[in-house]
């Protein structure tokens, strides 16, 4: 799993402010920031891996900030009006519905086991889902670099089309015709990072549509919402958002001795209680949709800092 923090968006290209972040320059771009990747699926398109119920190596606090109740902003990059059954307005709605249902859920309450003082819970079970979203039809082309992802975010903020906030997680969500040259589909499925843009510490993430490379970035070829690419994205989005909460300036917050963040430690494992939909797709959680009713999702587990175990639902302790 490759996990960085980045976003993308459609706006005129503006001058990019110097971007400084936490540690490790990326050789592909020269950017001075620490990127943490969500690696590709090691078990492509078979039955989802349940994963262990035991304790893993400990994750510890390293003194940096965490983000309680962040605001989530989405930038839809590329062509999201295709006729391929995935890059569609309906696909975008699946993501929006997921984020609406995720806040305050038993799954997201896994983050209550984290704190900014080495373990005191800080209310990380909620966030403000999608208060604004934008479309960038391709201001940086269809072959992005890490620097171009940064430019998309910088332009979005400089234009005023998205507010500049230190308590926000900005997500670049790319359509399946868009590449990310530092390793999307062969090294990672998404990433998150932070850096100084226009004088402000910004947390952002890149996640690509798994329809571009389903054997790498989707857990199954048939999905709960009938869109395997977008359903695959949802699992990665959850992964990156949890990490942006608990380690917004990597790796200054919660990481283990090898630098793995909370969701990294449970990556591509989906728990012991998998259910199936009428089309044969697997799912492990059901969340309310804002327009009424509910949707099913298959989402990778997350680690609880309290016992270093992976959970699907922290309230009822479903692993």
Q: What average pLDDT does the segment 8-37 reach?
A: 31
pLDDT at residue 240 tops 70: yes
pLDDT tens profile 139-197:
999 999 999 999 999 999 999 999 999 989 999 999 999 999 999 999 999 999 998 88
Label residue 124 by pLDDT band (50, 70, 90).
low
pLDDT tens profile 210-232:
999 999 999 999 999 999 999 99
Looking from the CA of 111 toward its CB, the CA atoms found within 13 Å total: 31
User: What are the two backbone dihedrals, phi and then psi, of residue 208, each rounded to the nearest 5 degrees?
Assistant: -100, 155
Strand partners for 170: 73, 204
Q: Which helix (H) or strand (E) holds 74?
A: strand 71-77
Q: Provide the total of helices (H) and of strands (E) in the chain, helices listed first.
A: 4, 16
Kindly list the domain boundaries of the chain, sorted by start residue. 36-311
pLDDT tens profile 257-273:
999 999 999 999 999 99
Asked if 238 contacts 17 with a C-beta cutoff of 8 angstroms, the reply is no
How would you class 83 by CB atoms within 10 Å of its CB: exposed for 0-12, middle for 13-18, buried for 19 or more?
exposed
pLDDT tens profile 77-109:
999 999 999 999 999 999 999 999 998 899 999
The Cα 309–Cα 319 span in angstroms is 8
Helix axes 228-246 and 89-102, enclosed angle (nearest 10): 40
Residue 40, SS3 per DSSP: coil
Q: Which helix (H) or strand (E) holds 258?
A: none
Pick from 16-25, 61-70, 308-317: least confident = 16-25
């Amino acid at each position: 799993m490759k996990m960085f923090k980045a976003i993308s968006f459609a706006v005129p290209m503006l001058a990019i402010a110097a971007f400084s972040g936490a540690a490790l320059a990326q050789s592909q771009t020269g950017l001075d920031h620490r990127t943490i990747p969500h690696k590709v699926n090691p078990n492509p398109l078979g039955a989802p891996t349940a994963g262990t119920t035991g304790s893993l190596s400990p994750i510890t606090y390293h003194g940096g900030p965490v983000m309680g109740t962040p605001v989530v902003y989405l930038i839809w990059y590329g062509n999201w009006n295709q006729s391929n059954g995935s890059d569609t307005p309906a696909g975008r709605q699946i993501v929006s519905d997921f984020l609406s249902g995720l806040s305050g859920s038993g799954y997201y309450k896994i983050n209550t086991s984290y704190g900014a003082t080495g373990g005191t819970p800080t209310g990380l079970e909620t966030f403000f889902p999608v208060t604004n979203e934008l479309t960038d039809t391709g201001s940086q082309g269809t072959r992005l670099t890490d620097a171009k992802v940064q430019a998309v975010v910088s332009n979005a903020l400089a234009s005023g089309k998205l507010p500049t906030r230190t308590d926000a997680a900005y997500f670049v969500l790319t359509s399946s015709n868009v590449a990310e040259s530092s390793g999307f589909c062969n090294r990672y499925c998404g990433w998150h990072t932070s850096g100084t843009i226009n004088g402000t510490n910004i947390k952002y993430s890149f996640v690509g549509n798994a329809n571009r490379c389903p054997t790498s970035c989707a857990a199954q070829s048939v999905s709960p919402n009938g869109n395997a690419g977008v359903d695959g994205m949802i699992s990665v989005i959850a992964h990156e958002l949890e990490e942006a909460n608990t380690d917004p300036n990597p790796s200054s917050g919660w990481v283990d001795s090898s630098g793995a963040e909370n969701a990294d430690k449970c990556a591509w494992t989906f728990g012991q209680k998998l259910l199936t939909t009428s089309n044969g797709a697997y799912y492990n959680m059901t969340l309310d949709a804002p327009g009424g009713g509910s949707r099913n999702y298959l989402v990778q587990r997350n680690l609880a800092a309290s016992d270093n175990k992976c959970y699907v639902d922290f309230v009822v302790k479903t692993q």
